[in-house]
Structures are given as structure tokens and as C-alpha cells.
Amino acid sequence: MADETKAKAPKLADPVAATIDPATQQMIKRAQQLGVDTVFDRAEQMKPCNIGVQGICCKNCSMGPCRLPLPKGGIEGEDKRKGLCGASANTIAARNFIRMVAGGAAAHSDHGRSVAEVFMSAARKESDAYKIKDIPKLLAVAKALGVDTTVEVDGETRDRDMDEVALEVGQVALNEWGKAEGELLYLKRAPQPLYEKWTKAGVKPRNIDREIVEIMHRTHMGVDQDYKNLIKQGSRCAIADGWGGSMLATDLQDILFGTPYPLQSEANLGVMKADHVNLIVHGHEPVLSEMIVAVAQKPEMVEYAKSKGAKGIQLSGICCTANEILQRHGVPPAGTFLQQELAIITGACDAMVVDIQCIFQNLANVAKCFHTKLITTHPIAKMEQENVIHIEFDEHHALEDAERIVKMAIDNFANRGAEVMIPPHKATQIAGFGVESIQYHLGGTFRGSYYTLNDNIINGRIRGVAGVVGCNNARTRHNEGHIAVVKELIKNDVLVLTTGCNGIACAMEGLLTPESAGVYCGPGLKEVCETVGIPPVLHLGSCVDNSRILLAATEVVNAGGLGKDISDLPAAGSAPEWMSEKAISIGHYFVSSGVYTVFGVTLPTSGAPVFHNHICKELEKLYGGMWDIEPDPIKHAQLMIAHIDKKRKELGIDKARERQLMSMEDRQKLEA
Ligand code: XCC
Ligand code: SF4
């Protein structure tokens, strides 16, 4: 009896059940010893709402929330469920779903807008910190935006002044967010048949902001109450993200900071160094972190760190800010989304600088238990806790802001507690691939196109291409889905393109090295990787860089021999451990661009079977792409492979693969 009156100790996570990564396991244990709760523990203590998971709770007006759970055995006959206003389960699920698209598209696109604004100030030469760095990319983007790069002078064609080109590119780009007429300029970058599908379906975005606003309007109480019409607007908004906000973010970042090119780095918590000042950048925008990279490398800063007793400055990253400075500077990621708290629990994080998106508010509570300075930098992303320092970043004083932050980290080095524990685990990786470098590696300088890649797909060495992307999710074992899906794909000769936290997960597992091809790949992909010297998993960057996958797919279409549209390609998409609204927007622009896309964990449509069936089956007729959900990672990968094989058959190249595999055996026989 006495026991019952005692407060029950909260249930803690089992580290091995929570993650496949030994560094993460070690740090979860460490946190538990120190009595600091992490997301892994909280996931044990709070279960997700069963109705919300199904996508059928509506709180769009105060007569609700109206909850329409699907009965366990499903519904026989007519589905009579309705909210107070009469909204059906399909209407509610569709409204919720496209509001997620709007949230995700807004996040990517507003990030893109900030970049465009910094781009403008660089083009206007208002800033010493930001310059137009990548002229070839500027010219390519100018072309895509319809900006002239040459002028006629006395009947002679001359190159236009680059400053003028940059200024006009900035103006035209910024206009894409709110122009009054027309359609997004980048839509024309898509294969012609896809553009025509969008025209026919009536989903060509007018401008980026408008499609997001229209979702908020249509999903307001009592407006659009037809799930097909709702998801149509979801497509228009998602396309505005993928072929608009995200693509512009990527392009303008490349022009400002350089188009990534393959480079070597490391990944996991073990990149932190006990005897160095550890400064971690976390979030999504490279605009400030680029400055921090520049400042942290300055000899006077390193000297300053030494004067405070440190051996140097170790910069590392979390989430997509990490991916941004990884792909351009080789700065190593310290971890994925779910490892953010753990980086502070090492006791060795002298400062963590955050910008926007995917930042746990609990970082502030964790930082309180250590000496770590937690610094927010963005006017739209502050935290209520008192220990959080806000240093508002301004592109006009970018270097000064970065210097202040780096100095703060250095000054804080002396305040470390005794108990520093950095797990020893880290892995080598090659990152920094993109449309241009794939062309270089797999196309060769001679042809300068995707010809070699296509050739290897046609001859069957490469069975197909998969984009595996997205978050971690504390409702599933950390990194297990990511790694199992990717390994199953490469084992079956599917070349993987990765971004986001999947990229970091693959790096931690050692999959982003050319050597991993010999260990994990099927014979065909292994041969290609070894001949060309690339990893079987190519890291294409951050979440906004999923736009690189769209353009790479378009290049494959244009190189010829594999059909006329993205939907003809032996290709598939996947987000095994997704959690954010951005992932839904990405998934939906992949689907609306013709890609079969499988998500893991759950999909918030399961409570509305008719709507669920519409996005998983009927959308294929409109765009060639459709959704699917499969939590089991092996089945998940097998679904993708089955789709790839279906496309190979439609292209008439299924036999080539059999021949290819046979000739491999023959060759081995010959060698023996
Ligand atoms: Fe965030 Fe981009 Fe997801 Fe990782 S992957 S958890 S969105 S950081 Ni895009
Ligand atoms: Fe309920 Fe309709 Fe209001 Fe939604 S909009 S909360 S379904 S009454």
C-alpha cells in the first residue's frame, strides 16, 4: 500500500530499442544517469493520439474538435461518419493533409525567400559578407528564369555585365513568391509531358505564396468539401514548393556559397573534440552558418581559442544546416534530428546556434543542465526559456554577428563541467553530390550528360534509382528504417540519392563511401561504383535540395532511352522515418511529379479509406506518381523495387538486366 502513494518513476527508454546507433545508445544511457530527459524517454511516457494518427480529427472551428475514428473492423457499406457541420472523414483527412503540405511548403519557401533577400543584397553590393560566388550557376539560373545573359551592341552579341545579370536574377526570383499573373517560371524546367499533365490537371502554381494561402482558405470551415478538389490544391502547393521555393533556395544558395562538389568528411557525435571549443550549428539556413564557418577558420579566432586553453575550434552541425555546410565545406554533422539533445549531453558543447525548423524547444531545458550557451538567431524562431540567448542575425552585419557568436563559444570553453563524455563513434563519408557532379562522374567530361548513367540503367547494371530522404521519428527505432531500406535497395542494384537526415544516417553507417559498394551492393551497382569511384548512396544535401533530385531525374529523362517523363523512369521515392510537415510537402511534390513514393511509420490518412485510396491509387492516373505506406523497411524497399521492375518492363529493358546478370556469371566462369 505504501508503495502506491509514492510517485511512480517515469518510464525511461530502452537505449537499444530506441536506436541502432551505438553512439546514440551510449548517450541515452548517459542522459538517464544524469537525470536529463530526452525525446526517447518522452516517447515512452506519452503515446500519440490514436485519432490524430488516423488524420480524422478536425479542429478547424470551435464547434469541434470533431473526431471521427475508424472502427477497428473498418466500415461496411456507407461511411456515415460526419462532423457537426457534416464534414466527412475524407474531407477532414484531406483538409488536414493539405494543411500539412501548406506548412511544409511555407517552411521551405520562406527559407528560400530569406535566401533571395540576401541574394539581392549581395547583387546590390550592400554587404561585404555575401558575394556572387558561382558565375556558371548564375548563368544557368538566369537562363531558367528567362534573364538575358548577353546583349547586342552594334549588331554584335556580347556577354552582359555580371552584376546586372545578378540583380535581374534576384528581382525575377523574388517576384516568384508574389507575382500577380502568370505561372512559376521553373515549371518549364520539368519534362514537357509532365508540364502538360500539370496543365491538364489545372495544378500549375501561379506564385508560391498564393498556393499556400489558398490552402488556408479552402480548408477554413465550410469552404472546399470535396477531397479530390482539396488534394488538387495540395498538388498545386507542393509543386510550388519543389519546383519553386525549394528549387530557388537551392539555386540561389549555390550561386552565393558555391555549387557543392564531392568532398570527404565524417559524421556522428564522435566528431566533437574534448580539447576543442565545440560549436554546433543546427537548423536549416546556411546564410548565417556560412559566416560562422568563415569566422571559425580565421587564424585570430583559433589563436583566441588557444588563449582560452582549447586546442582549436571544432565546428559541427545537426539537421540540414549541417548538410548545407557539409556539402560546401566538409564541416562534419554531429548527428541527426534525434541526436540534438545528446550533443549537449556530451557536456562538451560550448555553444549551439540554431536558426529555423526542426529545433526542439527542450534544447533549452537540456542546456540548463550544462554550461552550453543556446543561441537563437532568427527573428521568427525564438524560445520562451530564460537561459536562451537571442542574437538576431542581420545580413548587413553578418560577419560581426558570426564573430560575436564564435567568441561567445570560445569564452564559454572554460565553464565546462568535469563530466565530459563524447562517444568515440564516427564514420568517414563522401558528400556534396549534385546535378552537376553526377553529370561529371557518371557522364564524363566527354559527353557531359547523363548518358553513362542512362546506359548503365538500360544495360541493367543499375536496376533503378531511388530518392531516400527525410527525418527521424521518435515513434520508430532511430535510423533502423533509414539504413535497412537503403541497404536493401543497394543490395538489389538500386542507386540511392539521399538528402536530409537520411543522408546523415547513411553517413553514420559508413554507406557514403566508395568502399561500401564492395560490401553492400549487388554485382551490377558494385561494378559501376568501383569503375567510377562513387559511393552507392549519393548525398545531395539538405531538405530544400530534394529539388536537386527533381532536376537530376529530368536530366535522366532528357539524356534519352528511358521514356519521356519522370513517371517513365525506373525510379521511386522514400521517407522511411518521416515526421515533419515538410516531408509531406516533399512527398506530395514527388508524387505530383510522377514518382511512386513510399513513407514509413504512419500516414495521417488511414482513418479515411476513400481519400487514402485516392492518393495511393487514383493520383497515378493524373501524374504517374502515387503514395504508399509501409512501416516494415524490407517490405518498404521491396515495394520500391517492384515499381522499378514494373517500369523496366514497360520500357522493354527488363530482359537486359537478366542478360547483364548472366554475363556477370559467365565472366566469373571465364575467370575461374
Ligand atoms: Fe528536419 Fe531537414 Fe526532417 Fe531532418 S530531414 S528532421 S525536416 S532536418 Ni528534411
Ligand atoms: Fe467539426 Fe466541421 Fe468544425 Fe471541423 S469544421 S470542427 S468537422 S464542425
CA of 86 to the centre of ligand 2 (A): 8
In the predicted model, residues of the chain with pLDDT beneath 50 are 1-2
Mutate which of 280, 506, 543, 548 to test ligand 1's pocket (most atoms within 8 Å of Cβ)? Answer: 543
Q: Are 512 and 539 in contact (CB under 8 A)?
A: yes
Q: Which residues pair with 352 in a beta bridge?
A: 280, 374
Cell of 4: 502506491
pTM for the whole structure: 0.96
Mutate which of 95, 221, 225, 230 to test ligand 2's pocket (most atoms within 8 Å of Cβ)? Answer: 221
Mutate which of 85, 90, 220 to test ligand 2's pocket (most atoms within 8 Å of Cβ)? Answer: 85
Q: Are 20 and 36 in contact (CB under 8 A)?
A: no
Ligand index nearest the alpha carbon of residue 576:
1
pLDDT attached to residue 111? 97
CA of 336 to the centre of ligand 1 (A): 8
Mutate which of 580, 581, 585, 601 to test ligand 1's pocket (most atoms within 8 Å of Cβ)? Answer: 580
DSSP 58: E
The dihedral over CA atoms of 94, 95, 97, 99, expressed in degrees to the nearest 10, equals 160
Does the beta carbon of 85 sit less than 6 angstroms from any atom of ligand 2?
A: yes
pLDDT attached to residue 670? 54
Does the beta carbon of 667 sit less than 6 angstroms from any atom of ligand 2?
A: no
pLDDT attached to residue 540? 98
pLDDT attached to residue 1? 44
CA of 221 to the centre of ligand 2 (A): 7
User: What are the CA-CA distances from residue 484 to residues 123, 587, 628, 636 (Å)?
Assistant: 45, 20, 18, 9
**Residue of the nearest CA to atom 2 in ligand 2?**
85
CA of 579 to the centre of ligand 1 (A): 8
The pLDDT tens digits for 106-143 are 999 999 999 999 999 999 999 889 999 999 999 999 99
Does the beta carbon of 471 sit less than 6 angstroms from any atom of ligand 1?
A: yes
Closest CA to 578 of 624, 619, 628, 540: 628
Beta strands in 342-439 (DSSP E): 351-354, 373-376, 389-390, 427-431
Cell of 550: 527533381
Ligand 2 atom nearest to CA at 222 = 5
The pLDDT tens digits for 378-403 are 999 999 999 999 999 988 899 999 99
Q: Are 604 and 96 in contact (CB under 8 A)?
A: yes
**Residue of the nearest CA to atom 7 in ligand 2?**
83
